[in-house]
């Protein structure tokens, strides 16, 4: 399990590349975990899974870009939330989504982006 509070404290103290890198890596890992859970979800339609995967990858690309925009990320995150709310999901998908969402929100709030 990833200790998110450690990264939040690090980001509040210092916004150097060394402190930003672990959070970005965690977002990558959380994105892949969410994608994997979506693929294994038996209740989700293939169309919904594909839409969510593309949206997650788009947000990941935005976070990893050289000049991410927090407004754009916030709007994209809201759209993904609406997509997740509209599908039938398993507890595993929900937990993976919450982990991923909290990391993306942390990156938005901590001026990473």
DSSP states of 52-105: HHHHHHHHHHHHHSSS--HHHHHHHHHHHHHHHHHS---HHHHHHHHHHHHHHH
User: Model-level pTM?
Assistant: 0.73
pLDDT at 113: 44
| Residue 52 counted as domain residue | yes
For residue 46, being part of any structural domain is answered with yes
> What is the torsional sign of CA 9, 94, 80, 38?
positive
Query: Tokens 């593309």 — which residue?
Result: 54
Assigned domain for 13 exists: no
Other beta carbons within 10 Å of 112: 19
pLDDT of res. 41: 85
Q: Is residue 30 assigned to a domain?
A: no
| pLDDT, the chain, mean | 80
Does a structural domain hold residue 73?
yes
pLDDT at residue 8, as a whole number: 62
Instruction: Tell whether the torsion through CA atoms of 110, 61, 57 and 28 is positive or negative.
Output: negative
Whole-angstrom distance, CA of residue 28 vs CA of residue 112: 15
Q: How many structural domains comprise the chain? A: 1
Whether 15 maps to a domain, the answer reads no
The answer to whether residue 94 sits within a structural domain is yes
CB atoms < 10 A from the CB of 78, how many?
10
Which range of residues forms the domain containing residue 86?
A: 36-113
pLDDT band, residue 17 (cuts 50/70/90): low
Condensed to tens digits (0 to 9), the pLDDT of residues 85-110 reads 888 888 888 899 999 888 888 877 76
Given a cut of 90, whether residue 26 has pLDDT beyond it is: no
The span from the CA of 111 to the CA of 24, in Å, is 13
Residue 85 lies in a domain: yes
* pLDDT confidence bin for 7, thresholds 50/70/90: low
């Amino acid at each position: 399990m990833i200790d998110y509070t450690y990264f939040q404290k690090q980001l509040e103290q210092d916004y150097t590349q060394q402190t930003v890198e672990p959070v970005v890596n965690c977002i990558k890992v959380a994105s892949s975990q969410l994608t994997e859970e979506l693929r294994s979800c038996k209740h989700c339609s293939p169309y919904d899974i594909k839409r969510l995967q593309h949206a997650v990858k788009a947000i990941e690309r935005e976070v990893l870009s050289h000049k991410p925009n927090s407004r754009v990320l916030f709007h994209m995150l809201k759209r993904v939330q609406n997509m997740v709310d509209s599908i039938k999901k398993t507890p595993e998908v929900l937990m993976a989504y919450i982990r991923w969402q909290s990391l993306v929100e942390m990156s938005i709030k901590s001026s990473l982006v």
